[in-house]
Structure 1
Amino acid sequence: MLPLPLLATSLATLVCAVSARPSLNYLENPFGVESESEEVRSEAIKRLLEVFGMEDPPLPRGHKQPPQYMLDLYNTVADVDGVTKDPYLLEGNTVRSFFDKLRSEQVEFRFNLSTVGRSEKVLTAELHLFKLRSQTSAALNRHHFCQVSVYQLLDSSKMNVTQGKKLLSSRLIPIHSSGWEVFTITQAVRSWMLDEGSNLGLQVVVRSLAGTQMDMKLVRFASGRNHHQSKQPMLVLFTDDGRHSATLESKELSDAPASPGLPHLPSAGLASRSARSLDYSEDYSASLPCQRLPLYVDFEEIGWSGWIVSPRGYNAYHCKGSCPFPLGQNMRPTNHATVQSIINALKLTKGIETPCCVPDKLFSINLLYFDDEENVVLKQYNDMVAGSCGCH
């Protein structure tokens, strides 16, 4: 994660690069100006990718639909602008969903975890299976529950014996039910992360309460081969990539939605135009008191709309204005800023400037996007939105 000054520089440079227009010098040297503009834009986007922890942007995914679970999770942790509702709501800062790569008609599954960073700490791993309705009703009078067990495969040649697999999770499920069933398989995923070659997949075994194998027509789970994507087997992985906030988000955020502290703009498009239309002269801006002003980052203008699901953009805000003596409490000054303003006003030391107007509270945003393997990722990025401004 880049420090705040570098992040602000990256965002500001990118906004300028995106909205840049040819100057009069373009008439004299059109190729030189265009080349310089593209170079600045390229460098700005490279820096912005660093902020989002990427080397290259993922490939566009067109109209591919993300899993409903990931959409629901995003809407739970983020508001309409992507700003985190509660910084303590999400376990870790990254959630990934993986579809089954084996696509077998049997209840065996395998997931490719190559996109998970080696430095990421695996917190929780869940196997999501969609239970279908039974194809026969004759046995419902005799069986009401079944035992569903999930095993980690240890030896592909011994899948049908105890030594070839390891029990991860097991519980009773009503036979007549249908819908998503979730099993914790954290232990297996952690071992796969340590040794990629040990990832031989998972096996699901369904038995009666008496311990006998059950007819698959009676208890069925959707497979990746024969059923709609919305019901396909899925691995959901919660991780922490080790990034930490430079300024801890206020716990006040967990007591109330972020929207009261972050004024909601009517629409992304309007916010974008408003941010660019604020063209203060230096004299006028210098006379303004320290305050928070819009700074909308539009992912479509940057060229990222093909792989980002939500949000379409977000308002990062920026701080602008003067911190004149005497500093009132409305300026949210630190004690250091108050002393500095007094020294400046009394001219006690040469070269001492007035305090600066900077963000004094920062909020995180959430990004829902497709990675290069078509997995959907929900990632939380710290210190992305200026929640308020003060004199420091």
Structure 2
Amino acid sequence: MRILRTIGGESGFSVLSLCYLLTVFCLTIRAVDGKRKKGPKGAVEETEAIERLSKVFGIEHAPQNNVGATPPQFMLELFNDITDAGGLIKKDGPYNASTVVSFPDRAYKNAQHFFYNVSMHETENLLESEFHVFRMSPKSNHSRHTAPHGRLSHLIEIKVFQVLDPDNMFSDNGRLLVDHKRVSTHARGWVIFNVTRSVREWAAGTRINHGFLVISQTLNGNELGEDEVRFAQRKSHHDTKQPILVVYTNDGRHRTPHYISPDDQ
């Protein structure tokens, strides 16, 4: 199984890169052990470590380093979940995917609009796709999450729409409901939505990719503003909490996991 993260360029095209994730693992291990080295010798050792880790993913050569940001928290947790301390892939990945790719947000309209430049190889079979957003603490303690009979509600509803028309996305004609979740009024953390249908349409070219629109409402249908419900935004919050699109695919090829001993130096 390969775990990749996309590094979006200024040209708008996404470049899939393994080196970033592998490099972070090397740096993390060295920092924890208190043995992080600097200079030419340290660089050589880091390169060798990346080459060893690349065996876990079944690639022959690790790409050049790209360490401009922190990889998504979800990708780090996924790596730790499916591998043991020695680098052995101990269980199948989600949905039995052979490849997991995360796309960074490239929103350009407003804080509620999230856009992902999705690219897939023609041989890849899309299994599932998830939209991950991190809910931050509200700016205001004021609450108007009232239930139908005036009682205080402990739930709000977060809806994800596929944008059909960017210039008309706040009307029903310019968007299509994809998924929705009811969450606690005061909950903080990740909210995950299934957006497989939208990504499948974008990959097949049956609909134009205009991204997603996120709307938060009371159970009465009253829209909530950023003072009450807000999400981590690209370039505005910590890298590990950036909104991401995660795509699970299978290319049909069989891969044999490569074991790396914890004592391997």
Determine if the TM-score, normalized by the shorter chain, exceeds 0.5: yes
**What's 1:96 paired with?**
101
Correspondence for 1:73 among 56, 71, 78: 78
- Per-residue displacement from partner, 1:103-159 (whole Å, max 9, x unpaired)? 654211011122x21211111111111111122112167442211100001122321
Kindly indicate whether residue 158 of structure 2 is the aligned counterpart of residue 148 of structure 1.
Answer: yes
Shift of the 123–227 alpha-carbon distance from structure 1 to 2, 3 Å rule, reads same
Q: How big is the shift at 1:175? A: 1.6
Q: Would you tell me which structure has more helix in proportion to its own residues?
A: 1
In structure 1, the residue matched to 2:264 is: 268
Residues 82/147 of structure 1: CA separation in 2 closer, same or farther (3 Å cut): same
Alignment partner of 2:96: what SS? Answer: coil
Contact 2:162–2:176 (Cα < 8 Å) also in 1: yes
Tell me the residue number matched to 2:113.
108
The count of aligned residue pairs is 206
Report what 1:123 is aligned to: 127
TM-score (norm 1): 0.47
> Which residue is equivalent to 2:227?
217
CA contact (8 A) 1:104 1:223 kept: no
Change (3 A) 1:100 1:191: same
Say whether 1:84 aligns with 2:89: yes
Amino acid at match of 2:115: R
Deviation readout 1:29-68 (Å, 9 max, x if unpaired): xxxxxxxxxxxxxxxx9xx99x9578x8643213642222
Give the 3-state SS of the residue equivalent to 2:186 in structure 1. coil
Which stretches of structure 1, 4 residues or more, deviate above 6 A after TM superposition?
none
Of structures 1 and 2, the one scoring higher in RCO (CA 8 A, sep 6+) is 2
In structure 2, the CA distance between the partners of 1:265 and 1:108, relative to structure 1 (3 Å rule), is closer
- Map 1:1-392 → 2, pairs under 5 A: 52=58, 58-62=63-67, 64-87=69-92, 91-102=96-107, 105-114=110-119, 116-139=120-143, 142-195=152-205, 198-244=208-254, 265=261, 267-269=263-265
- Helix, strand or coil for the counterpart of 1:128? strand
Aligned to 2:40: none
Residues 69 and 239, structure 2, Cα contact 8 Å, conserved in 1 = no
Q: CA deviation at 1:189?
A: 0.6
Larger radius of gyration: 1
Could you report, residue by residue, the CA deviation over 1:216-249 in whole angstroms, capped at 9, with x for unpaired residues?
Answer: 211111111321112111111111111135x8x9
Percent of matched pairs sharing the same residue: 31
Tell me if the contact between 2:97 and 2:250 (Cα under 8 Å) persists in the aligned partners.
Answer: yes
- Tell me if structure 1 keeps the 8 A contact 2:132–2:246: yes
CA RMSD of aligned residues (A): 3.1
Q: Which amino acid aligns with 2:176?
A: K
Give, as a single letter, the amino acid of the residue that structure 2 aligns with 1:72: E
Query: In structure 1, how many angstroms separate the alpha carbons of the residues matched to 2:109 and 2:62?
Result: 32
Question: Given the superposition, is the C-alpha separation of residues 210 and 68 from structure 1 closer, same or farther in structure 2, using an over 3 Å criterion?
Answer: same
Consecutive unaligned residues in structure 1, runs of 5 or more: 1-44, 250-257, 270-392
8 Å CA contact retained: 2:201, 2:207: no
Distance 1:241 1:132, change over 3 A: same
CA contact (8 A) 1:147 1:173 kept: yes
Letter in 1 for 2:201: S
Structure 2: which 5+ residue stretches go unaligned?
Answer: 1-50, 146-151
Q: Is the Cα contact below 8 Å between 1:134 and 1:218 reproduced in 2?
A: yes
How far did 1:80 drift? 2.5
